[in-house]
C-alpha cells in the first residue's frame, strides 16, 4: 500500500512497483489534497480518504506500507498549521498504529529539512518539526512495541507528475512552466539557497530497495550534486524576479548517502542539467 499514491512521488513509486512486482496487489490511500486522479494507473486499487481513517478504509491488509501521504511544504506550513497537525501528526499516528496492529512493514518518508542548518532545521517550520517528530515516534515504536520500519529521506525531488501551479507547486516544475510561458522565474531571496535536486526515478528506486530489505533509520536518498536556486534559474534561462525572504526557507542541508550506498549500491544517476535541457527542447 502507498499512502499518497495519487501524488507526485507516490504515483511514480506505484508505477515502478507495477514493473518490479507485476503480480503484487497494490493499493493507494490518498485524500487528494495534492494527489490527482490523472495520476491513477491501471491495476491499482485507489481508496479516497485520510490516513486518520486508515483502519476503517483499508480491509485488504498489505505486507508493506509506504507512507508518503503527508503535508509536504515547509514555507507554506506556517499558513496551514492545523492541516499540518492533522495530516502529519494525527494521520501518521494512525498509520503507525495500523502497521503495528497488522504487522505490516512501515517505510516512512522522513524529511531532509531536519538536517539543515547544522541539524537544527527540524525547528525551522511546522512541517519540518512534525516530520522530525514522526521519525522519533516511529523509532520509539520500534523500541517499545517491535514495529518493523525503515525511514527514508528525500532531497528536493523533481520529475514527471511534479506539481506546476498553485501554492503547493514544486520549484523545478514551476520554473520550467514559467519559462515555457515566457514569464519571469520567481526566486525567493537571497537565491543562494543550496539544494540536492534528485530525480524521482532515482528516489523511487531507492524507496523500493529500502522496502525490500531496509531496517531502521538513516536511508538518505539524494543527489550529491549541489546547486543554488539561482544556478537552476540560469540553467533554465529567462528573466528572474526576486521575492522577499521567507520563514522556513533553509539555506542548505547536509547529505549522507553512505547507508544506501553500502547496503544497496544506490546512487542518484540522473543529472539535473541534462533533465532541464531535455525539458527545454520541448518548448524551444
Residue 77 and residue 118: Cα distance in Å, rounded?
21
Strands 149-154 vs 105-111: parallel, antiparallel or unpaired: parallel
pLDDT over threshold 90, residue 282: no
Superfamily of domain 2-280: NAD(P)-binding Rossmann-like Domain (3.40.50.720)
Binning the chain into helix, strand and coil, the percentages to the nearest 5 are 45, 20, 40
Q: What is the mean pLDDT of residues 214-235?
A: 97
Within 8 A by CB and 6+ apart from 141, the residues are 96, 100, 147, 149
Q: How do the domains of the chain map onto residue ranges?
A: 2-280
Set of cell numbers at residue 234: 540560469
Q: Which three cell numbers stand for residue 272?
A: 539535473
Check whether 253 has a pLDDT greater than 90. Answer: no
Of the pLDDT bands very low, low, confident and very high (cuts 50, 70, 90), residue 148 is very high
Average pLDDT over residues 152-164: 96
Residues 160 and 11: their CA atoms lie apart, in Å, by 10
Q: Distance of CA 67 to CAs 102, 109, 224, Å?
A: 15, 6, 25
Q: Which three cell numbers stand for residue 191?
A: 537565491
First to last CA, the chain: 40
Lowest mean pLDDT among 118-132, 154-168, 184-198, 218-232: 118-132
**Interval 203-218: pLDDT, tens:** 999 999 999 999 999 9
Q: What is the dihedral of CA 11, 14, 20, 26, to 10 degrees?
A: -170
Averaged pLDDT score across all residues of the chain: 95
pLDDT at 250: 80
Length of the chain: 284
Helical H runs in 91-218? Answer: 91-102, 126-145, 171-180, 200-213
Q: Could you report the per-residue pLDDT of 49-96, keeping only the tens digit for each?
A: 999 999 999 999 999 999 999 999 999 999 999 999 999 999 999 999
114-128 tens-digit pLDDT: 888 666 688 899 999
Distance (Å, whole) CA 182 – CA 174? 12
Q: Say if CB 40 and CB 10 are below 8 A apart.
A: no
pLDDT surpassing 70 at residue 25: yes
Provide DSSP, 206-244: HHHHHHHH--EEEEEE--S--EEHHHHHHHH-S-EEEE-
pLDDT of 118 reads 66
Q: How many CA atoms lie within 13 A of 188 on its CB side?
A: 12
Amino acid at each position: 500500500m502507498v499512502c499518497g499514491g495519487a501524488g507526485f512521488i507516490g504515483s511514480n513509486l506505484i508505477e515502478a512497483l507495477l514493473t518490479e512486482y507485476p503480480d503484487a496487489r497494490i493499493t493507494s490511500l490518498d485524500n487528494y489534497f495534492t494527489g490527482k486522479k490523472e495520476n491513477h494507473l491501471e491495476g491499482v486499487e485507489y481508496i479516497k480518504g485520510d490516513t486518520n481513517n486508515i483502519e476503517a478504509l483499508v480491509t485488504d491488509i498489505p505486507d508493506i506500507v509506504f507512507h508518503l501521504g503527508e503535508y509536504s511544504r515547509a514555507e507554506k506550513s506556517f499558513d496551514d498549521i492545523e492541516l499540518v497537525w492533522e495530516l502529519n501528526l494525527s494521520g501518521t499516528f494512525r498509520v503507525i498504529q495500523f502497521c503495528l496492529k497488522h504487522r505490516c512493514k512501515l517505510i516512512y518518508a522522513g524529511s531532509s529539512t531536519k538536517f539543515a542548518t547544522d541539524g537544527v532545521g527540524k525547528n525551522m517550520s511546522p512541517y519540518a518539526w512534525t516530520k522530525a517528530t514522526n521519525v522519533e515516534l516511529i523509532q520509539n515504536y520500534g523500541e517499545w512495541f517491535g514495529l518493523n520500519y525503515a525511514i527514508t529521506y528525500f532531497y528536493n525531488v523533481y520529475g514527471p507528475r511534479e506539481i506546476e501551479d498553485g501554492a503547493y507547486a514544486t520549484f523545478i516544475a514551476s520554473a520550467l512552466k514559467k519559462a515555457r510561458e515566457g514569464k519571469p522565474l520567481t526566486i525567493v531571496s537571497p537565491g543562494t539557497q543550496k539544494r540536492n535536486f534528485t530525480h524521482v526515478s532515482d528516489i523511487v528506486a531507492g524507496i523500493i530497495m529500502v522496502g525490500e530489505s531496509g531496517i531502521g533509520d538513516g536511508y538518505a536518498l539524494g543527489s550529491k550534486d549541489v546547486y543554488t536556486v539561482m544556478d537552476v534559474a540560469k540553467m533554465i534561462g529567462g528573466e528572474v524576479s526576486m521575492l522577499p525572504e521567507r520563514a522556513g526557507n533553509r539555506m542548505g542541508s547536509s547529505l549522507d548517502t553512505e547507508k544506501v550506498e553500502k547496503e544497496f549500491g544506490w546512487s542518484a544517476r540522473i543529472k539535473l542539467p541534462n533533465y532541464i535541457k531535455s525539458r527545454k527542447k520541448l518548448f524551444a
